[in-house]
Structure 1
Amino acid sequence: MKTAAIVVAGGRGDRMKASIPKQFMLLQQREIFVRSVEIFHGSDLIDKVVLVMHPDWMEVAGRILNKYGIDSVNIIPGGETRQESVYRGLCSIENEGFETVLIHDAARPLFSAFQIPDLLKMVENRLGVVVVEPLSDTVYITDSGSVVEIPDRTKLRAAETPQVFRYQDIFAAHRKAIGENLTSFTDDASLLLNYAGKIITLDSITRNIKITGPQDLEIAELLLKAKQK
């Protein structure tokens, strides 16, 4: 099964309030996006890694990867939205015969590569697999500040990445969305569901947090240190 991984790092990371995009910030002396790339680059099950990067930072990203001896990653320019960036990543491998694709946010560098085999075993035609985490907090559904419903949290999961699909399924869904001018999907699983696909989940074995602000970076540092003990 020929498999590609698309790592999306096209944002500017404005919420981090730093002089560089958040994916270039260091997490225990290694850039966040490098840690995410290494998850897949180091796997025998991944045949190709595509890094979707903001156009202004592609050259810098290439130099950094070369510094670490990672010279087989394709770096392509991202779009205005995450959806567009993923689509560009999918287009870049359109004619290379990939059967399966993992789509991952570079801002989640703590995902465990040990789960890649399980994800690939679970994916089927029209069936995507999403890494999730159970919610420990009670969740309110509100309207104008008032609580209108309290869903059963045992049935709730926080969607994360990677999200894994048959390449032709997710590529076709992206093309349909563009044709219908639907451009606001925030993840690929919801996009596939919109076109009659099905999604199943796999609980993450790590705290697979998304780094969006300074506090998240501090938490990630602590999680990495605990993992290394």
Structure 2
Amino acid sequence: MRHAALIVAAGRGTRAGGPLPKQWQEVAGQSVARWTLQAFAHLDARVLVIHPEDRARAEAEAAGLDTRIVPGGADRAASVRAGLEALVAAAPEAVLIHDVARPAVPRTVIDAVLGALSGAPGAAPALPVTDALWRGADGRVAASVPRDGLFRAQTPQGFRFRAILDAHMAHRGAAADDVEVARAAGLDVAIVPGSEDNLKITAPGDFARAARILEDRHGYTARERI
């Protein structure tokens, strides 16, 4: 096996609102989770890490996509470790770790991460910060912050499998993302171009933005699909 995708979907996503965790809500005619899994259908394997209470729903959304479903842990780092451990027997050369809440990730971003792994143990997409940045205190602007060299991190974050597995097994405590875990273990992580389409659904209005991207890309509207 060469390439596997590990989709992290164990969170509750309460800031997004709605009756269900955001990964199970519908956007452009199907669930966020299914769109995300389909984005990685060209890889050799998929692991979906879920909240233990969501297994039945996860199995329904992953139907036909040859996906292993694994219960997650108490935080994101623990959930990623559970997913990596589920891939040990398959021993892929590389694994792409992706937030389920980014259902519109372009194929070009996925392929760029995979391509960069030929020259580095890790790679991740990002967009340079273009807005002015301030540091605030007590509701007032305290200082301007130079934006040179600053990036907005995205996923999938890709790694040579054994390297990131060892990094996660050695890591203690929480981590913002897998690049943080990798760098703590001394791994170099290459930056590849991200995409504005690769938005992360966080707030209620993000569902409509994701729907527009997916509908434009696939040539239909959610109403036509239904």
Calculate the TM-score normalised by the size of structure 1: 0.88
Query: How far apart in 1 are the matches of 2:159 and 2:37?
Result: 18
Query: How far apart in 2 are the matches of 1:19 and 1:118?
Result: 36
Q: Which residue of structure 1 lines up, in the alignment, with residue 13 of structure 2?
A: 13
Pairing of 1:103-142 with structure 2 (within 5 A): 103-124=97-118, 127-142=121-136
TM-superposed CA distance for 1:147, in Å, is 4.6
Q: Which residue of structure 2 lines up, in the alignment, with residue 57 of structure 1?
A: 54
Quick check: 198-207 or 100-109, which moved more?
198-207
Q: Which amino acid aligns with 2:69?
A: I
Does 2:163 match 1:169? yes
Q: Which residue of structure 1 lines up, in the alignment, with residue 87 of structure 2?
A: 93
Query: How far apart in 2 are the matches of 1:166 and 1:144?
Result: 44
Structure 2 gap segments, 5+ residues each: 220-226
Quick check: 160-169 or 197-206, which moved more?
197-206
Give the SS at the match of 1:153: coil
Task: Tell me the percent identity.
Answer: 31
Give the SS at the match of 1:23: helix
TM-superposed CA distance for 1:18, in Å, is 1.9
Q: Which residue of structure 1 lines up, in the alignment, with residue 36 of structure 2?
A: 36
Q: Which residue of structure 1 lines up, in the alignment, with residue 152 of structure 2?
A: 158
Give the SS at the match of 1:210: coil
TM-superposed CA distance for 1:148, in Å, is 5.2
* 1:10-68 CA-partner distances (Å, limit 9, x unpaired): 01111122221110111111100100100111x1xx111000111111111112322xx
Does 2:191 match 1:201? yes
* 1:87-139 CA-partner distances (Å, limit 9, x unpaired): 00000011222111000000001111233332222115763111112223112
Structure 1 gap segments, 5+ residues each: none
- The one of 74, 80, 84 aligned to 2:74: 80
Query: How far apart in 2 are the matches of 1:184 and 1:148?
Result: 29
Calculate the TM-score normalised by the size of structure 2: 0.89
Please, what is the CA RMSD of the aligned residues? 1.9
Contact 2:117–2:123 under 8 Å retained in 1: yes
Query: How far apart in 2 are the matches of 1:170 and 1:126?
Result: 12
Contact 1:125–1:166 under 8 Å retained in 2: no
TM-superposed CA distance for 1:76, in Å, is 0.7
* 1:163-191 CA-partner distances (Å, limit 9, x unpaired): 000111111111111xxxx2220100011
